[in-house]
């Protein structure tokens, strides 16, 4: 199983310059720990600081090396030509393969950006098809959703962009199997739910006569030297109802405990786990990333 990191982009109580530096530090620590992927997320029109993915990723790549990297994009919120150009440029900054995680977004963000989210599935599918054509160097027309005429981009990525489609419910998982090179499972899935979801993805791939691509799941995580220390560190977050994610879906504990939890996901069939730090404390977050080296060794 490969272990990557989605570096948090949200820092509501930290000065912006310091928070941006924390993101760079976490990318550097992830590289030192030997993690397999580097990602950042995607949100717009937020009340508190949320650092935008393409800009931050460009800076973080200086700390990352030649391993795969990418970002999450809520595709209905992006003009596909502009995003394809941004990915083409980012791909030129590093030797690693670009992995695009993608999802739908929500009505609030759509309204803030002037997007009619009643068409979100059509916008998503059309945007993905347009970008994949542009990355192949083709000239594209698309009149139903994006009103594009003879669109093209340069530079194009030097190798194919890998696409992981985020999906939670069965119809969306089936769509991920047909549209993407891989599937990204939601961080809210409990162990029982993650087992059911990957069976749905495997069945959808078989139904589409398509080999199963990457089966990735995000897990919010906190690791400490001992189980007791991890429980003490995570207690305030659980008491506050951490992001609405069920406690059973969180990965918390010592190296041995976390290795066991991620090993269960591996047994279910997941090929990648993408971790995100639970802690708002930078020292705790860097320690978690450091200890992931030992988790990787155990797995």
**What does the alpha-carbon distance between residue 180 and residue 144 come to, in Å, rounded to a whole number?**
21
Name the one residue in this structure whose structure tokens are 């948090």: 8
Answer for the pair 277, 8: CB distance below 8 angstroms, yes or no.
yes
Each residue's pLDDT tens digit, 24-51: 999 999 999 999 999 999 999 999 999 9
Residue 263: predicted pLDDT: 97
Strand partners, 50: 10
Residue 220 banded pLDDT, cuts 50, 70, 90: very high
Tell me the C-alpha to C-alpha distance, in Å, between residue 226 and each of 255, 257, 282.
Answer: 8, 9, 19
**What does the alpha-carbon distance between residue 296 and residue 76 come to, in Å, rounded to a whole number?**
35
Residue 291: predicted pLDDT: 98
HSE on the CB side for 217, CA within 13 Å? 30
DSSP tag of 10: B
Tell me the C-alpha to C-alpha distance, in Å, between residue 13 and each of 7, 105, 115, 204, 208.
Answer: 17, 24, 30, 42, 46
- Average pLDDT, stretch 270-285? 97
Percentage of the chain exceeding pLDDT 90: 97
Contact partners, residue 270, CB within 8 Å, separation at least 6:
1, 185, 194, 198, 215, 216, 217
**What does the alpha-carbon distance between residue 244 and residue 31 come to, in Å, rounded to a whole number?**
30
**What does the alpha-carbon distance between residue 225 and residue 229 come to, in Å, rounded to a whole number?**
7
Contact partners, residue 168, CB within 8 Å, separation at least 6:
185, 186, 188, 189, 197
**What does the alpha-carbon distance between residue 296 and residue 40 come to, in Å, rounded to a whole number?**
21
HSE on the CB side for 34, CA within 13 Å? 8
Local structure of 13: helix, strand or coil = coil
DSSP tag of 72: E
Residue 268: predicted pLDDT: 98
Residue 188: predicted pLDDT: 96
- Average pLDDT, stretch 12-21? 96
Residue 8: predicted pLDDT: 97
Mean pLDDT of the chain: 96
The DSSP code sequence of 86-121 is HHHHHHHH-SSPEEEEEE---HHHHHHTT--GGGHH
Each residue's pLDDT tens digit, 176-193: 999 999 999 999 999 999
**What does the alpha-carbon distance between residue 36 and residue 22 come to, in Å, rounded to a whole number?**
20
HEC assignment per residue over 146-172: CCEEEECCCCCCCCCCEEEEECCCHHH
Domains of the chain, earliest start first: 2-298 (3.20.20.30)
Residue 30: predicted pLDDT: 98
**What does the alpha-carbon distance between residue 152 and residue 157 come to, in Å, rounded to a whole number?**
13
**Confidence (pTM):** 0.95
């Amino acid at each position: 199983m490969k272990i990557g990191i989605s570096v948090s982009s949200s820092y509501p109580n930290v000065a912006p310059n310091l928070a941006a530096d924390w993101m760079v530090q976490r990318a550097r620590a992830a590289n030192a720990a030997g993690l397999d992927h580097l990602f950042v997320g995607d949100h717009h029109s937020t009340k508190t600081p949320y650092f935008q993915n393409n800009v931050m990723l460009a800076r973080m790549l200086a700390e990352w090396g030649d391993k795969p990297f990418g970002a999450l994009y809520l595709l209905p919120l992006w003009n596909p030509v502009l995003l394809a150009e941004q990915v083409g440029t980012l791909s030129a900054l590093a030797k690693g393969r670009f992995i695009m995680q993608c999802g739908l977004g929500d009505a609030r963000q759509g309204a803030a950006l002037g997007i009619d989210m009643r068409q979100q599935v059509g916008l998503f599918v059309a945007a993905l098809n347009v970008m994949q054509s542009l990355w192949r160097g083709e000239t594209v027309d698309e009149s139903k959703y994006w009103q594009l005429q003879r669109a093209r981009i340069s530079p194009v990525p030097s190798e194919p962009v890998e696409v992981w489609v985020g999906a939670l419910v069965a119809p969306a998982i089936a769509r991920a199997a047909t549209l993407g090179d891989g599937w990204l499972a939601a961080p809210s899935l409990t162990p029982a739910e993650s087992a059911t979801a990957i069976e749905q993805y495997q069945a959808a791939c078989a139904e589409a006569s398509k080999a199963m691509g990457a089966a990735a799941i995000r897990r919010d995580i906190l690791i400490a030297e001992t189980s007791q220390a991890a429980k003490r560190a995570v207690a305030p977050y659980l008491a506050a109802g951490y992001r609405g994610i069920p406690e059973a879906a969180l990965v918390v504990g010592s190296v041995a405990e976390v290795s066991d939890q991620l090993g269960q996901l591996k047994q279910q069939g997941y090929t990648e786990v993408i971790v995100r730090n639970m802690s708002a404390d930078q020292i705790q977050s860097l320690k978690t990333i450091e200890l992931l080296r030992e988790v990787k060794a155990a797995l």
